[in-house]
Amino acid sequence: MTDVALTDPAVPATAPEPLPVAVVGSLSPSRASDFKTCPLLYRFRSIDRLPETPTRAATRGTVVHAVLEHLYDLPAGERTVEQAQADVAPSWEQLLTGEPELAQLFDDDAEGAELTEWLESARQLVANYFTLEDPQRLEPAEREQLVEVVLDGLRLRGYVDRLDVSPAGDLRVVDYKTGSIPREAFEAKALFQMKFYALVLWRTRGVVPRQLRLIYLADSDTLSYQPEADELARFERTLQAIWKAIAHASMTGDFRPSPSRLCDWCSHQALCPAKGGTPPPFPAHALAAASEDRRVATPVGVRVEPEPWPVSRPN
Q: Is 299 helix (H, G, I), strand (E, B) or coil?
A: coil
Q: Are strands 221-225 and 211-216 parallel, antiparallel or unpaired?
A: antiparallel
At a CB cut-off of 8 Å and minimum separation 6, what does 265 contact?
none
Which of 81, 271 has the CB closer to ligand SF4? 271
Cβ neighbours, 10 Å, residue 16:
6
Which of 88, 266 has the CB closer to ligand SF4? 266
Nearest approach in angstroms of CB 280 to ligand SF4 is 13
Nearest approach in angstroms of CB 287 to ligand SF4 is 20
Nearest approach in angstroms of CB 271 to ligand SF4 is 8
Q: Are strands 171-177 and 211-216 parallel, antiparallel or unpaired?
A: parallel
Where does 133-267 have alpha helices with state H?
A: 187-205, 229-252
Q: Is 225 helix (H, G, I), strand (E, B) or coil?
A: strand
Q: How far apart are CA 200 and CA 144, in angstroms?
A: 15
Nearest approach in angstroms of CB 35 to ligand SF4 is 11
Which of 220, 269 has the CB closer to ligand SF4? 269
Which of 86, 270 has the CB closer to ligand SF4? 270
Say if residues 200 and 148 touch (Cβ distance below 8 Å): yes
Nearest approach in angstroms of CB 117 to ligand SF4 is 29
Which of 189, 237 has the CB closer to ligand SF4? 189
Radius of gyration of the chain measured on its C-alpha atoms: 23
Q: Which helix (H) or strand (E) holds 162?
A: strand 154-165
Distance between start and end Cα atoms, the chain: 70
Chain contacts with ligand SF4 (rule: CB under 6 A): 38, 40-41, 257-259, 262-263, 266, 268-269, 272, 274-275
Which of 182, 259 has the CB closer to ligand SF4? 259
Angle of helix 187-205 relative to helix 29-37, nearest 10 degrees, comes to 140
Nearest approach in angstroms of CB 30 to ligand SF4 is 14
Nearest approach in angstroms of CB 44 to ligand SF4 is 6
Which of 146, 262 has the CB closer to ligand SF4? 262
Q: Is 213 helix (H, G, I), strand (E, B) or coil?
A: strand
Amino acid at 106: F
